[in-house]
Structure formats: structure tokens, C-alpha cells
Structure 1
Amino acid sequence: MKALQFDKTGDLAALRYVEVPTPVPGADDVLVEIKAAGLNPSDVKNVLGRFPYTTLPRIPGRDFAGVVVQGPKHLIGHAVWGTGRELGFFADGAHAQFVALPAKGVAIKPDHLSFAQAASLGVPYTTAWDALERSGVTAQTRLLVIGGGAVATAALALAKVRGAQILAAARRPEQVKTLQNAGYPTLQLGEPEALGAQVNEVYQGGAEVIFDTTGFWLPASVAALATFGRIAIIAAPVDGLVHLPALGLYRKGGSVVGINSLLYGVEACAAMLDQFGNCFDEGLLPLPQGLVETPLADGVARYAEVNEGGGDKNILVP
């Protein structure tokens, strides 16, 4: 089969489009013919050596959608989707014509999602779902989501389904406009010192949950937090250090929740996908738009574009 593969890390030049043997599934596995695979920033960082536990040589790619061609009889022929920490790190991933993984590591694809749409959602939606679950977002929770990227928009959509009170915040004017056009009340972020006042104008007493998807607003979020509130984070500055106003957090009884999608394997992620996947078929979650589909053979060039800051959501199609 054809695949993208790297045998060393540190340079995208190590990523090549090659011919490799088609994987052979084990007794409890499935073999999925890939119809579409998402390209996430973490896939690029993987080739660049940001994940020391990656074993080599390796086929990257965490998010996929495809059809089961080998495995348990009840799954053969079904359209499935999936994601998970093994793929691309210590097991071959989805940037290939086929991928083998545990049978419990795939979920049935929602009918209303195309293969490309389903392949674009794995990491953003499981990350957002985990953030809402672990920070206790339920009906009427006063939620602030900071950022305008894929995880932030996934969190807003999933929180709306839960019936939470929703407030978005973004710095870039184009992100603010996009969020407002999607129907979310949105703050234009300015100086960090102003965040507390901005949020308290909307939520008297502060937000019960703040989800910072950018890695920059954790210190400022403390002033915007309600008593016993939770701040969920998925990113941090490059050096991993941040000045946290611990006294302010302590006085509010607040807590910080770290959200890391790479803590969840394919089986745990499939269980998440099963929990909200039907919401796409019921019209409760928006269908992805603006995807850029590209042949897998051109995948090396797409990796380079993402590494240079390209904003397109690339979908690789074998």
C-alpha cells in the first residue's frame, strides 16, 4: 500500500511517500480502508520530534474515516471513524491506504458526515468533549471558551447541545466575526487585565468554567472565574511556564484542569465519538465546512504548509 512514513525525526524532509506492506490485523482487530484522514498540527510536530515516545519507522496520522474490510463480521462493510494516541506514535497511523487497530477502537460514522468531514473532527471534538466532561459543564453552566480554532468551536457546539450558557472570546477580529456569525455571543479580547471585567459584564459573579484553548489566558482567567470555578487548558507557552495568580485562585476555591488528547487511546476515543456522533445526524451539531481535500501523494507538501502556519483544514485522500 501507499503511505507517508518517516524513519527519523527533527526535519520534515524525513517524511516520504512510499510503498509499504499492507498491515495484517490481529484476531481482535479490524483493517480499515482509509477514505479520508485529517492532518493535525500534532502530526507535523510528531515528525519534528516533539513526542519522544514515538517509535520508528512510523506512519503518522491520528484522525481517519473509512470502511472496515477485515475483522468481526458485524463490522465488515461499515463506514467508521476514529482517532487515538497510539496512531502515528507507537502504532502506524492513518496517512496510508489502510490502517489496522483494535475493533473496539472504531465508531460507526454518522450518516450525515462525509468521510472527509468525519476525518476532520477526531482530535478537535474528543479534546473538546473531554474538556467539558472533566470541567463539569452541564445544563445552565456559565461557560467561557477562549480561542477561535477547531477545538474552541467544537467546545461551543458541544456545550450548546448540553444546554450550557455560552460565551466565546477571541483576539483576532476575523475570529470574532466568524463566531458571532455562528450565533455565539463573543467578546473581543484586548489586554489580559481587562478580561475579568469583560466577563463579569456578561456573567455576574464570573464564569463557572473557562476553557482556554490558546495557552495564553490562564493567568487572566482567574479574575473572570466564579467561586469554585474551573479553568480547563489544552496548551501552554513554548517554555511550558506561566505565572499563575495562585492567591486569587485559592480565594475563589478554583481549580485548573489539564486537557491532553494524547492520554486517550483509540478505544476510549471511539467511546467518546459514540456519545456525540448521533448529534450530527440529528442536526444538533454543525457539519464541517471549508475542508481542503488533497491526494495522499501530495501529503508531504501539506505537512510543510501546516508547519508554516497554514490555516486550512487539510484532509488527505488515498
Structure 2
Amino acid sequence: MKVLQFSRTGDLAALEVVELPTPVPAEGEVLVQIKAAGLNPSDVKNVLGRFPYTTLPRVPGRDFSGVVIEGPQELVGQEVWGTGNQIGFSRNGSHAGYITLSAKGVALKPKSLSFAQAASLGVPYTTAWDALERSLVGANTRLLVIGANGAVGSAAIALARVRGAQVLAAVRRPEQLKALREQGFEAILLETPEQLGAQVNEVFSGGAEVIFDTTGFWLPAAVPALAQFGRIAIIAAPVDGHVQLPALALYRKGGSVVGINSLLYGVEACARMLEQFGKLFDDGTLPLPGGLIESPLEDGPARYAQVNAGAAEKIILLP
């Protein structure tokens, strides 16, 4: 089978298209023929050496959808999707023709999603789901999502709307603001960090009960926008990992910071998340994803370079 593989890190030139034998599932595993695989920024960072626990040589890729070829009889022939923290790091991932993983690590693919659509959702939606769960977002929660135009931000506002939260989306560009308002979301344009608190308090009297910063750059500015006993969820940080947090102001509000890291969850835990929100696509509660760029697996190295250069479009690799 054709795969993308890297045997060293630090340079995307290490990523090559090579031939490997089709893997053989162990006891309790399935063999999935991959129909589509998502390309996430974390896949690119993996090749660049940002994850010290990755073992080499390695096939990258976390998100996938496909058909079970071997495994428990009740799963053979089923259309499935999956994601998780080992595949692509300590065992071969989804940027390949086939993948093996725990039989409990796949969920039945929603019928309303194409293979490409399903493969686009794993990391963004499980990350957003985890952020909302652990930040206790429910009905009428006043929620601010910073970077609501990105993959995780878009997932967060869609899932939060389903939960009945009061959603305020914050974005950088006027065209993003317009698009969100056309979708029925209340939205603000991010200006300077010093202005964020006032902007949010104009919409949410007393501040946002939960602030989800998907960018990694607004944590200090979020504190003045936070309500008493509020929670700030973060999924990223500056490259050096450090920010100047106004701890006194956070302490006086009784606020807390919640770190959200999708790499804490294995394929079985992720499959349970996919099962929970996957049905919301089939009943029409969640919007179907669009704007995907489908690309042959052989063009993977060039597509990795595009994502590394900041391409906004979601790229789906097709074996």
C-alpha cells in the first residue's frame, strides 16, 4: 500500500510517498481500508519534530474514515470514522491505504457525512467537544469563542449552539464577522487586547462565563472579559509556551484556566465522543462541513507544505 512516511524530523522534506505492506490486525483490532484522511496542523508539527514521543519511522495522520475489512464480524463491511492520540505518533497513522487499531477505537460513520466530510472532523470536533464538556458549557452559558472562524472554533460554536449556550464569536476580519452573523451568531471583531474586556461586557453584562481561546494569544486579555467564577479554556500557546497572566485579576474573580489537549485521548475515548456528536449530523442538528479540498495521497508532501504555510482550507487526503 502507498503511505506517507517520515524517518527523521525537523524538515517537511523528510516526508515521502513509499510502499509498505498492508498491516495485519492483532487480536481485538480491526483493519480499516481508508477512504479519506484529514490533514491537521498537528500532523505537520509531528513531521517537524514538535512531539518528542513520536517514534520513527512513522506514518502520520490522526483523522480517518473508511470501511472495516477485517475484525469482529459485526464490524466487517461497516463504514467507520476515528481519531486518537497514538495513531501517527507511536503507531502508524491514517495517511495510508489501510490502518489497524482497536476495534473499540472506531465509531460508525454518520450516514449524512461523506467519507471526506467525516475525515475532516475528528480532531477539530473532539477538541471542541472536550473544551465544552470540561468547561461546563450548557444551556444559557455565556460563551465567548476567540478564533471562531478556525476549524476548532467553528466546531465549538456549532456544538455550543446545540447545547443552548449564549454564543459570542470573536474573529479578526470583517468578512469573517459578516459570515458568522449570516449564520445567526452574535459576533465581534477582535481589535486590541486592551479592548476585549469592554467589547465582551457590552454583550454579556458581567462578562462571559466561559471563554474558549483557540488561538493561544488572548489568555491575558481574556481575564477582564471573564465573569466571576468563570473558566478560560485554551488549546494553544505562543511558541515559547509562556504568557504574562494577570494572576491577581484572575484570582479576584475566582476564575480558572482549563487546558484542552486532544492528545490526552486514545482512539477508544475519541470513538465515544464521535458517537455522541455524530448522531447530531444525521438528525440535522449540526451543519455538514463544506469547503474541503480533496487531494490524492501522492500529493501529500505538497499539501503538508501548504498547511505549514498557513493555508486556511481543510485538506483531505484520498488514498
Report 1:19-34 matches (<5 A): 19-34=19-34
CA distance in 2: counterparts of 1:153 and 1:248, whole angstroms: 29
Q: Distance in 1 between matches of 2:292 and 2:28?
A: 33
Shift of 1:308: 1.3
Q: Give the root-mean-square deviation of aligned CA atoms.
A: 0.7
Alpha-carbon separation, structure 2, partners of 1:124 and 1:176: 20
Return the offset for 1:40. 0.4
The alpha carbon displacement at 1:119 in A equals: 0.1
> Which digits, 9 at most, give the CA deviation of each residue in 1:176-225, with x for residues without a partner?
22222222110011111111111111111111000000111111111010
How far is the alpha carbon of 1:175 from its aligned partner? Answer: 2.1
1:35: which partner in 2?
35
| 2:77 is equivalent to residue 68 of structure 1 | no
Aligned equivalents of 1:24, 1:172: Cα separation in 2? 48
Q: Distance in 2 between matches of 1:178 and 1:32?
A: 37
- Asked if residue 204 in structure 1 is aligned to residue 197 in structure 2, the reply is no
Provide, for residues 15-46 of structure 1, a one-character-per-residue CA deviation record: whole Å limited to 9, x for no partner. 11010011110110000000000000110110
Q: Does 1:128 align with 2:128?
A: yes
| Matches of 2:46 and 2:99, distance apart in 1 | 18
Off by >4 Å, runs of 4+ in structure 1: none
TM-score (norm 1): 0.99
Instruction: Name 2:44's counterpart in structure 1.
Output: 44
Distance in 1 (CA, whole Å) between partners of 2:182 and 2:239 is: 32
Give the corresponding residue for 1:154.
Answer: 155
Mapping 1:95-244, distance limit 5 Å: 95-147=95-147, 148-244=149-245
SS of the residue 1:159 aligns to: helix
Question: Which secondary structure does the structure 2 equivalent of 1:229 belong to?
Answer: strand
Superposed CA offset, 1:42-74 (max 9, x none): 101100111010000100000000000000001
- Alpha-carbon distance in 1 for matches of 2:189, 2:237: 21
Q: Percent identity?
A: 74
Paired residue for 1:274? Answer: 275
Q: Give the distance between the partners of 1:308 and 1:217, measured in 2 at CA.
A: 22
Q: Which amino acid counterpart does residue 291 of structure 2 have in structure 1?
A: G
Which ranges of structure 1 fall in alignment gaps of 5 or more residues?
A: none
Aligned runs of 1:76-95 on 2, under 5 Å? 76-95=76-95
The answer for the alignment partner of 1:7 in structure 2 is 7
SS at match of 2:230: strand
Distance 1:96 1:182 in 2: 36
- Residue identity matched to 1:115: F
Letter in 2 for 1:179: L
Secondary structure, counterpart of 1:248 in structure 2? helix
Return the alpha-carbon distance in structure 1 between the equivalents of residues 177 and 28 of structure 2: 46
Determine the C-alpha separation between the residues in 2 that align with 1:309 and 1:257: 26
Question: How far apart in 2 are the matches of 1:305 and 1:142?
Answer: 36
Match of 1:249 in 2: 250
- 1:84 match: secondary structure: coil
Structure 1 residues 121-167: Cα deviation after superposition (integer angstroms, max 9, x where no partner): 00000000000000000111111100020100100000011111111
Partners of 2:239 and 2:27 lie apart in 1 by 42
Number of aligned positions between the proteins: 318
For residue 181 of structure 1, what is the amino acid of its counterpart? E
Secondary structure of 2:257's aligned partner = strand
Partners of 2:150 and 2:312 lie apart in 1 by 9
Between the aligned partners of 1:217 and 1:182, the Cα distance in structure 2 is 24
Q: TM-score, normalised by structure 2?
A: 0.99
Q: Name the SS of the counterpart of 2:37 in structure 1.
A: strand
3-state secondary structure, aligned to 2:244: coil
1:315 aligns with 2:316: yes
Deviation digits for residues 94-132 of structure 1 (CA, Å, limit 9, x no counterpart): 000000000000000000000000000000000000000
Deviation, 1:174, is 2.6
- Measured in 2, the distance between the counterparts of 1:301 and 1:174 equals 28
Of 225-234 and 174-183, more deviation after overlay is shown by 174-183
